[in-house]
Structure 1
């Protein structure tokens, strides 16, 4: 460790969406010679991919659901977690505490503020999450992944910094690689993923959507698709019936290599997914998860769609129940036969958008370049610059205007400067 080494605490909920950027920041801070610790829940402490050097501390994290009867219990857990966080800080002496959303971040941030420790929040989605929304007015800085973030009040603009959403180094390494050659008669490689919540609609509809493509396009298909374990054999048979080559798995060990070969991505619009697609430059057909909190996946897709790098298809809320309860895996099931025409329309919409993007090689290549232009490859280092501004030199403006940075960065810089001129 160097003489300038400092301590930082990262606090995040136990999901990959919260922890992936936290781990990326941890790696960058550790590379710079700092000590880093993690506050999370039991899921986060055990999640694969946690850096070996990152000590995890599990704190109580009260949840506040729709039923007010549970709120006192949630508040009690938050207060207990806040006290435990304060004891940790008295020993670890962090220069700043950085929250990445999720309920475990709440007591961690409150404990830091009680001791006068600077706090920063990072929002991965294009809608400010519940904990970040609650803490936005009290923290010292707000780091965002998108130039437009819904439910982020304009009055906080002076402390907003557009940094992006950090991605894994193996994915980021693909950024300077060219888009895979796509010709009139070459293979058309399609990657389909969706995670545990999203795989069912994709498993149910994408094989049929691909099967109704024009013969010249369908005959060139090579599909790689993630499926739920309980659906994989049925999906395999569907592709076989359609005579479409497909590699199916519940999990792909080397997703970076899989993404590197893909000409088109079909899947959900989670924050990490969008960050990886734009870092690498891959065009996409996006089906935002309709039951996502505050419909944040639709907002996540917004920038990429506006750029021309993606097409977004809205999945009606009703189809969630149709797919989960109708037993799509059984073709003879009466419920399957009674499924609404909405599912058929959704299948045709997917097929139509695939055809529109892949009808000419230059169309797909242009979409790939548009997606690439939305990427923020310096997200981890910019976020590290931001948090390093606490506990050392005066707070610095880390927004960098220039190569591969979105227009919103310059707008944020201008906003910050105007606020300082007003003495805010």
Structure 2
């Protein structure tokens, strides 16, 4: 029988950090543990992810804006560390787990000071800035890709490949077949820029779909998640082009949207890739060119090389290029279904249970860690 303990999860306020933290929180609570989330003001208000989870806001500055900005961020980090230490006195966590983002840094620093076991989870194929800062001191580093850039070989003995945890509703899609696609049937396209949207998708996708053959274009049913500043213009463009489209700034039913999608057009954020590979959905990926260390291009590499996606760098993401790639995939149902299978083969469905096993092991350091296939030997690139 699992011994009930208290765990603190610390994550920044973007979907890439918050979604896997929420998945782990749900699994740990299912196992009977108490879980608290430490984040910034954005994180604790993330829609629907942490219902029923105890949440705490701590100060955390972003190191930007030159010397004055750095000084302010440093003061906030010190204050955040102090706040986290006070919090730990009441929570008495068995371990603190960081998921990246600036709020994770003071939370982990407080754990180091209190000699509390720690781990970090890296969602991307490149080790993030905060995780790089704390990698030497944490007890375990969980990764999502078999090759993780910016990860020093010296840390090999504490690196574990677990994958990127996804919500249970997304994981359940693995048991559902790829939606039937008949040659003259409805072709469902899901367009999403992740939790923060992507203006380039709103600008290019409608015009690209308009360049498809008329018979193909008439079959389209588009669901498009757009930024609030882009949604009206995108809606007008779809209407003018006579393309059936539903637009929203947020899709609360993303698992169901994935379930019915024949093709996804998206950024290459970590959570997006994890959900595509969990559900087994083919995609056209447009990595964010300004992503730190170009990590979205690295994220897209494995699924693209496996044949589950096509990656178009943003400078080449034009209506003409999109239409060309759409026709290569969309006019051949067997090619789409094959790509879906290849995307699914890249998934790691045990990620959340493996991550929970690793976290539970942290307060028993003398016991060997056995978490399925998580021992990582080829994590360094």
Normalising by the residue count of structure 1, what TM-score does the alignment of the two structures yield?
0.84
State the secondary structure of the residue aligned to 1:97: strand
Instruction: Find the counterpart in structure 2 of residue 359 from structure 1.
Output: 331
Q: Pick the aligned partner of 1:349 from 301, 318, 321.
A: 321
8 Å contact kept, 1:17–1:271: yes
Tell me if 1:312 matches 2:284. no
8 Å contact kept, 2:183–2:333: yes
1:165-209 CA deviation, whole Å, 9 max, x = no partner?
111111111111000112222221111111475432111111111
Q: CA deviation at 1:400?
A: 2.4
Question: Which segment is superposed worse, 4-13 or 43-52?
Answer: 43-52
1:345-368 CA deviation, whole Å, 9 max, x = no partner?
722111111111223111111100
Question: Which segment is superposed worse, 252-261 or 114-123?
Answer: 252-261
Distance 1:377 1:281 in 2: 11
Instruction: Find the counterpart in structure 2 of residue 272 from structure 1.
Output: 271
Quickly say closer, same or farther: Cα 1:13–1:90, change in 2 above 3 A: same
Instruction: Find the counterpart in structure 1 of residue 288 from structure 2.
Output: 289
Quickly say closer, same or farther: Cα 1:14–1:69, change in 2 above 3 A: same
Instruction: Find the counterpart in structure 1 of residue 351 from structure 2.
Output: 379
State the secondary structure of the residue aligned to 1:173: helix
Instruction: Find the counterpart in structure 2 of residue 321 from structure 1.
Output: none
Instruction: Find the counterpart in structure 2 of residue 165 from structure 1.
Output: 164
Instruction: Find the counterpart in structure 2 of residue 112 from structure 1.
Output: 111
Question: Which segment is superposed worse, 222-231 or 139-148?
Answer: 222-231
Q: CA deviation at 1:395?
A: 4.2
Normalising by the residue count of structure 2, what TM-score does the alignment of the two structures yield?
0.93
1:173-322 → structure 2 map (5 Å cutoff): 173-195=172-194, 197-316=196-315
Quickly say closer, same or farther: Cα 1:196–1:173, change in 2 above 3 A: closer
Distance 2:204 2:104 in 1: 37
Give ranges in structure 2 of 5+ residues lacking alignment.
Answer: none
The alignment's C-alpha RMSD in Å is 2.2
Distance 1:414 1:304 in 2: 18
Distance 2:2 2:99 in 1: 28
Instruction: Find the counterpart in structure 2 of residue 13 from structure 1.
Output: 12
Distance 1:254 1:62 in 2: 32
Distance 1:154 1:76 in 2: 32
Instruction: Find the counterpart in structure 1 of residue 61 from structure 2.
Output: 62
Residues paired across the two proteins, number: 380
Structure ID, larger Rg: 1
8 Å contact kept, 2:14–2:195: no
1:15-30 → structure 2 map (5 Å cutoff): 15-30=14-29
State the secondary structure of the residue aligned to 2:198: helix
Give ranges in structure 1 of 5+ residues lacking alignment.
Answer: 317-341, 402-408, 416-424
8 Å contact kept, 1:192–1:265: yes
8 Å contact kept, 2:81–2:109: yes
8 Å contact kept, 1:122–1:144: yes
Instruction: Find the counterpart in structure 2 of residue 94 from structure 1.
Output: 93
State the secondary structure of the residue aligned to 1:260: helix
